[in-house]
A and B are shown apart, each in its own frame.
Chain A
Amino acid sequence: MKIARVLPALLLILVLAGVGFGIYRSHQVAATHARLAATAQIVGAIGSEKGPLLADPDVVSALGKAGLALRVDKVGSREIVTSFKPGAYAFGWPSGAPAAAELKARAHAAGDVTPIYTPMVIATWKPIADILQANGIVSGAGQFRRVDMHKLAELMLAGKRWNQLDHAEGFPVGKAILVTTTDVRRSNSAAMYLALLSYVENGDQVVDDKATANAMAEKLAPLFLRQGFQEESSADPFSDYAAMGMGKTPLLFAYESQVIEYLLKPDAARRSEMVLLYPSPTILSKNVFVPYNDAARRLGDLLANDPTIRAAAQRYGYRLPSSAAIPQAWRTAGIAAPDTLIDVVDPPSFSTLETMITVIQEKLQ
């Protein structure tokens, strides 16, 4: 009885509150619309490792000045392609050229641009690099050296362990010699590892037919399966590498950009113990930007040419296709990375990579 009497009054209050709130809301919306008229919001799908660069205050403000506001979803490079739906996003920015080429074809996109790239490296530690050098697998000196991928692959495929190498006193451990990668089913950096090793094991030829792709995947699958659990995102194994050191990650297949970004931090711990091995032959991760509309093409143009954004990209460890040498800021920070990379291998096509990944995927399930 009581409720029945109170209810109409209560409803009236609610309605009044609702109308009042509605008026307030519509004012807010109008204000937001006025701001949006000047700024175009662009939504894109990117490989996750570029998230911090695009969220950098300098980049956000440079884009803002040009009237662009960016929102990105972090999606694996492979998934950007396989889950492509027209209209879902204004652009895709995967981390590998094969994915970008396929995406371009599926999206019928024009005006793609490569604002940044980074070579793949094997991040390691001084004692490990020295052991490999004593065994004739690594050459050079200091923090930036070269690793012979043919010899390294041979060791790994033979199931050799660290304590079976000569001069292994610095790491007398029974762990198998394996390069830690991300999960090849989801992550571009592991796909780059597969691309590089398939070239090496295919007699220095890019794999370009299905039969060879199947055979190579069968041969190389153990190098993924034997690692044990593999992380999905390249940030996780790099955290392990930097925080847990060589006991957890003696060798890590990484983007050069990840390591340089870390080394550029003034308080980077263990920096003097870290060594970068440049694979020979090597492979590049080309971050090809694929726009689906005009606003996105404008964004691609800015990413490639805006001086503020270019400087930011270099702070995040990326190289610019238009620069022949490493940035001065790297040099000042004591980073003696090679200016140019020789013996660079092309990755296989997206469909050939897919064939190889599918073989490994079935073994991982």
Chain B
Amino acid sequence: MRIFFKCLAPALALFAAACSQGGGAGDANDPNAFHILAGSELKDIEPTVKDAAHKAGINVVFDNAGSLDVIDRINSGEKVDAAWVANGAYTSLALARKPAASTKTMYSQVLLGVKPDVAHRLGWDAHAPTWAEIGKAAADGRFRYAMTNPAASNSGLSALVSIATSVTGKGDGLASVDVHAADIQGFLKGQSLTAGSSGWLADAYAKDNAALDGIINYESVLLDLSHRPGVQLRIIRPSDGAVTADYPLLLVNPARRTDYDNLVAILTGAEMQRAAAASGRRPIDASIPPSPELSRDPAIDLPFPAKLDAVDALLGAYLDKLRRPVRSWFVLDRSGSMEGDRMEGVKSAMSTLIQGDKTTLAGRYARLAERERTTLITFSEAVDPPQTFLIDAHQPAGRAGLLDAVSAITADGSTNLYDAMAEALRQAVAEQARDPGRVYSIVLMTDGEVNAGMNAKDFERFYAALPANKKAVKIFPILFGEGNVGEMERLATLTGGRTFDARTGALAAVFREIRGYQ
């Protein structure tokens, strides 16, 4: 009998393997697949890695997420074999359990792309500025740039660490006591376009950069962007250096050590290193030259902080004190079809934003921050009276009031979406003209077809008649339920915003992601 049981287990395993469909390369259900949770900034090079790994008999399956989400998901115990991230230092500091192995694979610094005429006007084409000088130009309104949200994306975080490190005037790694608020705040005055992802930011810049002087992003992304039609960028390397992404592959599941070692050999091998160079990143193998378009001068590196508390202090200050404060409208559908689970989902996701989720990094930083002003507009057949709240630690009634207003929403009636959006836009455009220092956005959440009030054509006519500063108000529709995808996409494009898909994923995660764009 003992032999029987001993033998049954491997037989079952064989049987299961034989029965699983496919099992070949590229199949996520392959029990031998090597699962890598990768930063979204690595998407461009993933197909090349998959091919190279496939030739070596390793079926690599990639799943992409933002830098903070990668850390949160591993900390929550998600079963992945490895992680591949842009910033090894931050990941190492924030992971609850240190990875079994870590190997750097390539480099890219977070630098400035500046329009050639602007670079000339500021004198940056002749002498590279320090971050402190860049900050001064931004504070004086002479340099308006696109940069991702540092609490959501590594390129923004790297730039924030760079400016914070530069203005200490010490040349050391940043410590929590060294956060010089006024200088950083001046720099952030110039942040005129934000996003939760470096790739989306680059696309948005390529589409419309009329109101911008430049963009902060990875050197590799800037190089790619400078090749796009209609975009002219000069890559500026600040003279005091920049934080460098080093793209380590981290072994999370020690049982996959052999595959990990083989993958490291592939990633650091000549073929993949040439692919890294072709992607605009700098190879880790010094014998393979980087793109000839990149500067050959030494890339001065600014250190990442030694301790997580310095990063926490910096991000906390960014959100609550230093960044341009958020002005947002949440336009929520409370028509009859939202009744039940859908409405409960929306309420729960909103409550998490209002109160914060301390269990994850991303949840902690997504919390509504100090100085934010938020208006709640609900609608069914009519538009309910807007309710506005200010988030202020000294006046807790603001946060509490918003929470109460959200929990009091009831679902009933038809869907008068465009009248509600028009109301939000009217308010936003008027306020933006009075107070251009804030960052304006409208989040729209609906689950059905419009069947009351203005239709899409009426709304487009209304939008066309708004004053020119409407460009400063982004619309972020959430795709949900039976909502009209085409109309939602149209609303997003009209305003340079984007849609977020909650039809398959969790609503809470989508709300959190949107925060990176506000």
Q: Interface of A with B (CB < 8 Å)? A: 14-15, 17-19, 21-22, 25, 74, 159, 161-162, 173-176, 178, 224-230, 232-233, 235-236, 239-240, 242-249, 267-270, 364-365
Separation in Å of the A96 CB from the closest CB of chain B? Answer: 21
Contact A225 B173 (CB under 8 A): yes
Is there an interface contact between A226 and B172, defined as CB atoms closer than 8 Å? yes
| Interface check B89, CB cutoff 8 A | yes
Residues of A within 8 A of B130 (CB): 174
Q: Which residues of B contact A235 (CB under 8 A)?
A: 103
Q: Which of B6, B246, B302, B305 contacts A240 (CB 8 A)?
A: B246
B287 close to A14 (CB less than 8 A)? no
Please give, as numbers and ranges, the residues of chain B lying within 8 Å of A248 by CB-CB distance.
Answer: 244, 299-301
6 contacts between A and B (CB under 8 A): A14-B11, A174-B130, A176-B172, A225-B175, A225-B306, A232-B92
Is B241's beta carbon under 8 Å from chain A?
A: yes
- B56 proximal to A (CB < 8 A): no
Q: Which of A19, A25, A225, A243 contacts B282 (CB 8 A)?
A: A243
Nearest-neighbour CB distance to chain B for A55, whole angstroms, equals 10
In the complex, which residues of chain A have a beta carbon less than 8 angstroms from the beta carbon of B287? 267-269
CB distance from A127 to the nearest CB of B (A): 9
| Least Cβ–Cβ distance between A237 and chain B, in angstroms | 10
Q: Separation in Å of the A177 CB from the closest CB of chain B?
A: 8
Q: Kindly list chain A residues whose C-beta atoms are within 8 Å of the C-beta of B171.
A: 161-162, 173-176
Within the complex, what minimum Cβ distance (angstroms) separates B394 from chain A?
Answer: 32
Given contacts A242-B286, A244-B299, contact A22 B6 (CB under 8 A): yes
CB atoms of A236 and B102 under 8 A apart: yes
Specify which chain B residues have a CB less than 8 angstroms from the CB of A14 in the assembled complex. Answer: 8, 11-12, 15
Bound CA span A228–B241, Å? 14
Across-interface contacts of B3 in A (CB, < 8 A): 19, 22
A243 lies within 8 A of B286 (CB) = yes
Instruction: Tell me which residues from 238 to 254 in chain B have a Cβ below 8 Å from any Cβ of chain A.
Output: 239-241, 244, 246
Docked-complex contact A364 and B286, CB < 8 angstroms: no
Nearest-neighbour CB distance to chain A for B326, whole angstroms, equals: 30
Closest to A186 in B: B98
Known: A176-B170, A227-B172, A239-B284. 18 other contacts (CB 8 A): A14-B8, A17-B15, A18-B4, A19-B4, A21-B7, A161-B170, A173-B171, A173-B239, A175-B302, A178-B172, A224-B306, A227-B303, A229-B89, A229-B92, A229-B305, A236-B102, A244-B301, A247-B298
Q: Are B7 and A174 in contact (CB under 8 A)?
A: no
Q: Decide if A18 touches B102 in the complex (CB within 8 Å).
A: no
B307 contacts chain A at the CB level, 8 A cutoff:
yes
B474 CB–A CB distance under 8 Å: no
Q: Of all chain B residues, which has the CB nearest A164?
A: B171
Q: Does B93 contact A (CB under 8 A)?
A: yes
> Is B107 on the interface with A (CB-CB < 8 A)?
yes
- Please give, as numbers and ranges, the residues of chain A lying within 8 Å of B102 by CB-CB distance: 232-233, 236
Contacting residue for A227 out of B104, B173, B282, B285, CB 8 A: B173
The answer to whether B300 touches A243, judged by C-beta atoms less than 8 angstroms apart, is no
- Tally of contacts, chain A with chain B, CB under 8 A: 133
Contact with A along B160-194 (1 / 0, CB 8 A): 00000010011111110000000000000000000
In the complex, what distance in Å separates the CA atom of A159 from the CA atom of B171? 9
B10 adjacent to chain A (CB < 8 Å): yes
CA distance A17 to B302 in the complex (A): 61
Contacts of A230 in B (CB 8 A): 306
B169 contacts which chain A residues (CB < 8 A)? Answer: 174
Query: Roughly how many angstroms separate A222 CA and B284 CA in the complex, as a whole number?
Result: 29
Which residue of the partner chain B has the closest CB to A19? B7
B283 close to A (CB within 8 Å): yes
Q: Give Cα A249 to B93, complex, Å.
A: 21
Residues of B within 8 A of A233 (CB): 102
- Taking CB atoms, residues of chain A closer than 8 Å to B210 are none
Chain B residues whose CB sits within 8 angstroms of the CB of A15 once the complex forms: 4, 8, 11
Contact A364–B306 (Cβ < 8 Å): yes
Tell me the bound Cα distance from A159 to B302 in angstroms: 16
CA distance A25 to B89 in the complex (A): 45
Would you give the shortest CB distance from B136 to chain A, in whole angstroms? 16
Contacting residues, chain A, for B103 (C-beta < 8 A): 235
Q: Is the CB of B282 within 8 A of A175?
A: no
Chain A nearest CB from B10 CB (Å) reads 5
Chain B residues, Cβ within 8 Å of A74: 101
In the A-B complex, the 3 residue pairs with the closest CB atoms: A228-B173, A228-B303, A22-B7
Interface centre among B6, B173, B174 (most CB of A within 10 A): B173
The distance from the CB of A264 to the nearest CB of chain B, in whole angstroms, is: 14
User: Known: A17-B11, A245-B299. Is A228-B305 also a contact (CB below 8 A)?
Assistant: yes
Task: With both chains docked as a complex, state the minimum distance between the C-beta of A274 and any C-beta of chain B, in angstroms.
Answer: 10
B residues 4-46 in Cβ contact with A at 8 Å: 4, 6-12, 14-15
Q: Which residues of A are found within 8 Å of B9, using beta-carbon distances? A: 18
Question: Which residues of A have CB within 8 Å of B10?
Answer: 18, 21-22, 25
B304 at the interface (CB under 8 A from A): yes
Collect the chain B residues with CB atoms within 8 Å of residue A159's CB.
Answer: 170, 172
| Chain B residues, Cβ within 8 Å of A364 | 306-307
CB within 8 Å for A173 and B241 given contacts A226-B173, A229-B173, A232-B102: yes
Question: How far is it, in angstroms, between the C-alpha of A237 and the C-alpha of B240 when the chains are bound?
Answer: 20
Rounded to whole angstroms, the CA-CA distance of A15 and B8 in the bound complex is 6
CB distance from B214 to the nearest CB of A (A): 22
Min distance, Cβ B397 to any Cβ of chain A, angstroms: 38
- B residues less than 8 Å from A249 (CB atoms): 301
* Shortest Cβ gap from B205 to chain A (Å): 27
